[in-house]
């Protein structure tokens, strides 16, 4: 591998096929037929995947994987990436981000590392940092990876409120015709969502169903977009069917796979009177989220757990979540925002609608700090609407099952 290529592309140059698989959000397998360096690369990406789940269980698996990788060759070639992953695994988030940025200073066209930092910032509420490294420049023109970079850029523009620019960037990337570039399609959908173009979203996703359904890294989330867009335009029966399909994509019962499910259910509660099937569903969701109470490393995940407990009427689980010790590895402003959101949802469960609305409105400017996208965080506005309707007696009190 030429030194100049490594200097320019960093991790991305180790194995172009593996890099593309990573950027396509597809599963990766290290086979015995590949070289040691390529196998280490797959193991490194798997460590990153574990850390992205933001829970203690998977963080332990990531740290175990890192300890094995430190005996290989990659740490010497890309020390900043390994320092970043190790710091993340230790809960030193500021150090982790600084190491990722240091790596990109050395390898400006490392599209894999760019995506790593982008996802790190997305998960940790650092969307205000996107502009420092995601901008329109020569990286968009790269023949192999420029479209993937444009997808990151389009999503970043949308999250920063530059929706029209994001839409144009996403459409330009889609015009490249790469069938594996699922993240760009995701960015395109977010731009249309921000513009209220739900009919456009439904038409686009339904015409490409066989394509995005086959992507296990994004089919649940894109299925959520389809379900909430159908709900938004009043096609409620089809929305419920789409929701059932996205639940069927789930590979198991880990709480992290239920974020979009809970998000949909909050929206559905606001739009429709709950039926028995809905109540059974939210009880199942609450049960799945229960283990996360003492395992979670994310207030964004916690907020969805709280919403599941709210809809299921499970006061015991809500109380345990709210009273659980704060997540020590997060910045104080993130902890304060996250805890206030949990307290607001608890107030809604306890019938104190005014307090719920007040806490959410007081922290509105800090919602981004807990991570997730603008579209996903719309559920906090949904909760304000639910609390306001209850306060005005337009909707009955949430009842315990």
pLDDT in tens, 175-191: 999 989 999 999 999 99
Return the closest-CA partner of residue 269 out of 189, 205, 348: 348
Indicate the average pLDDT of the chain.
92
- Note whether 175 and 227 are same-domain residues: no
What is the tens place of the pLDDT at every residue in 248-282?
888 666 556 689 999 999 998 877 766 777 888 88
* Whether residue 62 sits in one domain with residue 111: yes
pLDDT at res. 5: 58
> What is the value of pTM for the model shown?
0.94
Whether the pLDDT of residue 155 is over 70: the answer is yes
Shared domain check, 60 and 100: yes
Q: What is the spatial distance between Cα 188 and Cα 211, in angstroms, rounded to a whole number?
A: 15
Please state, in angstroms and rounded to a whole number, the distance separating the CA atoms of residues 269 and 261. Answer: 12
Average pLDDT over residues 55-70: 96
Cβ proximity of 100 and 117 under 8 Å? yes
DSSP state of 12: G
- In the chain, what is the straight-line distance between the N-terminal and C-terminal CA atoms, in Å? 62
> Would you say residue 394 has pLDDT above 60?
no
Query: Looking at residue 280, what is its pLDDT?
Result: 87
The answer on 144 and 105 residing in a single domain is no
Mean pLDDT of 66-80: 93
Domain membership of residue 95 (yes or no) is yes
pLDDT of residue 272: 74
Same domain? 189 vs 209: no
Cα 95 versus chain centre, distance: 21
Q: How many domains does the chain divide into?
A: 4
Residue 231 near residue 268 (C-beta atoms within 8 A): yes
Distance CA 291, CA 317 (A): 10
Distance CA 90, CA 94 (A): 11
- CA-nearest of 177, 170, 176 to 201 is 170
The verdict on 3 and 119 lying in the same domain is yes
d(CA 380, CA 233): 20
Q: Which residues sit opposite 296 in a β-bridge?
A: 55
In-domain check, residue 23 = yes
SS3 55: strand
Task: Find out whether 38 and 30 touch, Cβ atoms under 8 Å.
Answer: yes
The pLDDT value given to residue 395: 52
55 and 129 share one domain: yes
- Do residues 162 and 112 both lie within one domain? no
Evaluate whether residue 320 is within a structural domain: yes
Q: How is residue 34 annotated by DSSP?
A: S
- Tens digit of pLDDT for each residue in 297-324? 999 999 999 999 999 999 999 999 999 9
- Is the same domain home to 385 and 280? yes
Could you tell me if residue 258 is inside a domain? no
Q: Are residues 234 and 287 in the same domain?
A: no
Each residue of 330-389: pLDDT tens digit?
999 999 999 999 999 999 999 999 999 999 999 999 999 999 999 999 999 999 998 988
CA nearest 113: which of 253, 223, 266, 7?
7
218 assigned to some structural domain: yes
Of the listed ranges 54-63, 96-105, 262-271, 308-317, the least confidently predicted one is 262-271
List helix spans (H) across 162-298: 163-174, 182-194, 198-207, 209-212, 219-232, 236-249, 259-271, 276-289
Radius of gyration of the chain (CA): 21
Both 100 and 113 in one domain: the answer is yes
d(C-alpha 321, C-alpha 317), whole Å: 6
Contact present, 192 and 200 (Cβ < 8 Å): yes
Domain carrying residue 146: 134-195
Q: Which residues contact 53 (CB under 8 A, 6 or more apart)?
A: 59, 254, 256
Question: Cβ of 233: how many Cβ atoms within 10 Å?
Answer: 13
Q: What is the pLDDT of residue 399?
A: 53
| Calpha distance 353→331 (Å, rounded) | 28
Residue at 49 is within a domain: yes
pLDDT of residue 279: 83
Using alpha carbons, list the distances in angstroms from residue 387 to 179, 333, 364, 382, 398: 43, 25, 15, 9, 10
Better-scored residue on pLDDT, 398 or 20:
20
Q: How far is CA 370 from the centre of its chain?
A: 11
Give the model confidence (pLDDT) of 164-221 as tens digits: 999 999 999 999 999 899 999 999 999 999 999 999 999 999 999 988 999 989 999 9
Does 261 fall in a domain? no
148 and 227 fall within a common domain: no
Cα–Cα distance for residue pair 228/230, rounded to 1 Å: 5
Residue 148 has which token pair?
Answer: 């993937």
pLDDT of the residue at 274: 66
Residue 261, token pair as written in the block: 């499910």
Let me know if residue 67 belongs to a domain.
yes
Output the six-digit token pair for 167: 């839409």
């Amino acid at each position: 591998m030429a030194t100049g290529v490594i200097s320019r592309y960093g991790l991305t140059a180790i194995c172009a096929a593996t890099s593309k698989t990573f950027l396509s959000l597809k599963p990766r397998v290290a086979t015995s037929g590949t070289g040691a360096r390529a196998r280490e690369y797959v193991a490194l990406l798997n460590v990153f995947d574990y850390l992205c789940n933001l829970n203690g269980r998977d963080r332990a698996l990531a740290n175990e994987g890192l300890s094995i990788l430190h005996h290989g060759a990659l740490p010497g070639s890309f020390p900043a990436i390994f320092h970043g992953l190790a710091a993340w695994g230790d809960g030193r988030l500021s150090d982790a981000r600084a190491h990722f940025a240091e790596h990109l200073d050395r390898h400006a066209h490392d599209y894999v590392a760019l995506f790593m930092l982008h996802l790190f910032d997305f998960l940790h509420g650092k969307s205000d940092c996107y502009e420092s490294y995601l901008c329109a420049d020569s990286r968009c023109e790269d023949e192999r990876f420029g479209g993937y970079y444009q997808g990151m850029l389009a999503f970043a523009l949308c999250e920063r409120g530059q929706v029209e620019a994001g839409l144009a960037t996403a459409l330009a990337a889609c015009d490249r015709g790469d069938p594996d570039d699922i993240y760009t399609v995701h960015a395109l959908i977010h731009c249309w969502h921000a513009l209220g173009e739900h009919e456009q979203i439904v038409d686009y996703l339904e015409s490409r169903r066989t394509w995005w359904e086959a992507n296990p890294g994004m089919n649940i989330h894109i299925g959520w977009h389809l379900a909430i867009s159908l709900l938004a335009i009043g096609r409620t029966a089809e929305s419920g069917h789409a929701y059932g399909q996205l639940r069927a994509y789930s590979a198991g019962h880990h709480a992290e796979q239920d974020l979009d499910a809970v998000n949909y259910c909050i929206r559905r509660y606001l739009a429709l009177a709950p039926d028995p099937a809905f109540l059974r569903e939210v009880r199942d969701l609450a049960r799945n989220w229960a283990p996360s109470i003492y395992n979670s490393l994310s207030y964004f995940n916690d907020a969805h757990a709280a919403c599941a407990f709210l809809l299921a009427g499970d006061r015991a689980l809500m109380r345990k979540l709210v009273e659980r010790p704060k997540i020590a590895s997060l910045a104080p402003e993130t902890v304060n925002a996250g805890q206030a959101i949990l307290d607001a949802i608890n107030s809604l469960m306890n019938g104190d609608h005014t307090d719920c609305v007040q806490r959410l409105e007081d922290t509105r400017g800090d919602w981004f700090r807990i991570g997730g996208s603008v579209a996903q965080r719309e559920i906090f506005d949904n909760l304000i609407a639910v609390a306001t309707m209850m306060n005005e007696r337009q909707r009955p009190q949430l009842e315990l099952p």
